[in-house]
Structures are given as C-alpha cells and as structure tokens.
Amino acid sequence: MDQKTEQIYENTSTIGSLKEYVVKEKRTVKDLLHDLNLDDKYFAILVDGKKASLDTVIETGQSIVVLPRIAGG
C-alpha cells in the first residue's frame, strides 16, 4: 500500500493554515473532509487550483484548498 502526503490549506479556523495529510489508501475529497471533521464546514474545495467535487480522487502531489463558508451582506 503506497503512502502519499498531501498539503491541505484549511481556512476554517485560521487564515492560511497549512496541514499535512498522509494518504494511506485511495481517498476522495469527501473522505478527506470527513477525516478532518469538515463535513459541513466548507464552501468549496480546490484541487491544484481547480474546483473539485466530493467524488474527486486525491492523487500524489496535489495541493488541496478548503474554503470556509462565510456570511456577507
């Protein structure tokens, strides 16, 4: 089983925090959000700068940005 490390930029608690996530098996964006307890706390996910769906499979070397929900007027 291959391991791969992904960089996760997660803005839900602090702006611009960087987390490292080691993938030990095939994972989707939905799996990743669940693992990070962010199931219902995001607005959009970017994988390598492009909007991704929950079914997007995470590949080696990709960077993932989790954009938080925000309110505005």
Give φ, ψ of 32 to 5 degrees: -60, -45
Helix (H) or strand (E) holding 59: none
Q: What distance lies between CA 56 and its chain's CA centroid?
A: 10
More confident residue, 35 or 10: 35
For residue 54, what pLDDT is reported?
A: 92
* CA–CA dist 55, 73 (Å, integer): 31
**pLDDT digits 0-9 by tens, 43-59:** 788 888 899 999 999 88
Query: What residues does each domain of the chain span?
Result: 4-68
For residue 14, what pLDDT is reported?
A: 47
Fold that domain 4-68 belongs to in CATH = Ubiquitin-like (UB roll) (3.10.20)
Tally of CA atoms within 13 A in the half-sphere of 67 that contains its CB: 11
**pLDDT digits 0-9 by tens, 4-25:** 555 555 554 545 566 777 777 7
* Local confidence band at 65 (pLDDT 50, 70, 90 cut-offs): confident
* 10: β partners: 17, 66
Helix (H) or strand (E) holding 69: none
